[in-house]
Chain A
Amino acid sequence: ELKVEQNPLFLSMQEGKNYTIYCNYSTTSDRLYWYRQDPGKSLESLFVLLSNGAVKQEGRLMASLDTKARLSTLHITAAVHDLSATYFCAVDNDMRFGAGTRLTVKP
């Protein structure tokens, strides 16, 4: 059974700082997805990573995939308050999700 682990589960950051969220998974897969969820809202897609070494960037967020290590990272650069949300990774065609990382960016 596929297991997906995210860490940290909670992250409180100062504005302007950098940090990385990690997503580990237990079985071979070369497809990984990152989603964002704002409080009271549904999930929206951020990134789709489809091969080993894939890197995608959008604004202050950059996602990467290492299929050999079964690891994806979501890197936050110079955080701003608008990035406060819960971030989920999901693996494989059957879309198993991690527990989510609740990010809070403080002034």
Chain B
Amino acid sequence: DVKVTQSSRYLVKRTGEKVFLECVQDMDHENMFWYRQDPGLGLRLIYFSYDVKMKEKGDIPEGYSVSREKKERFSLILESASTNQTSMYLCASRPTGLGNQPQHFGDGTRLSIL
């Protein structure tokens, strides 16, 4: 069974801090995604990656960056955290091919910026 693990369920940080959210998947999936989920807005795509060292901007990349140095790990970085980045962050992975498989999601990280 596919396992997508996010490093923290809950995280509290201060404005201006650099914040790292980590995501690891154990099924050798090529594609990985970072979303934020806010009430009434659904899931909004921040960044995604098709392969190691590759990254693509999603719909709301401002204030975020990502890193994919190894295939199994996709990190989301808040360069200088702000209160409007308080949200639930979800990581997902998905294989390439295999008949367009759905994404597998982690349990999420609820991030509060004070």
Contacts and interface: CB of A to CB of B under 8 A. Distances in A.
Contacts of B99: 48, 50
B102 to A, nearest CB: 4
Contacts of B106: 42
Interface residues of A, number: 23
Contacts, number: 56
A76 interface: no
Contacts of A99: 40-42
Interface residues of B, number: 25
Interface in A73-101: 88, 90, 93-100
Given A88-B43, A97-B43, A99-B42, A42 B90 contact: yes
Contacts of A33: 102-103
Given A41-B107, A42-B106, 13 more contacts: A31-B100, A42-B90, A43-B92, A43-B105, A44-B105, A45-B103, A90-B43, A94-B48, A94-B56, A96-B59, A97-B43, A99-B40, A99-B42
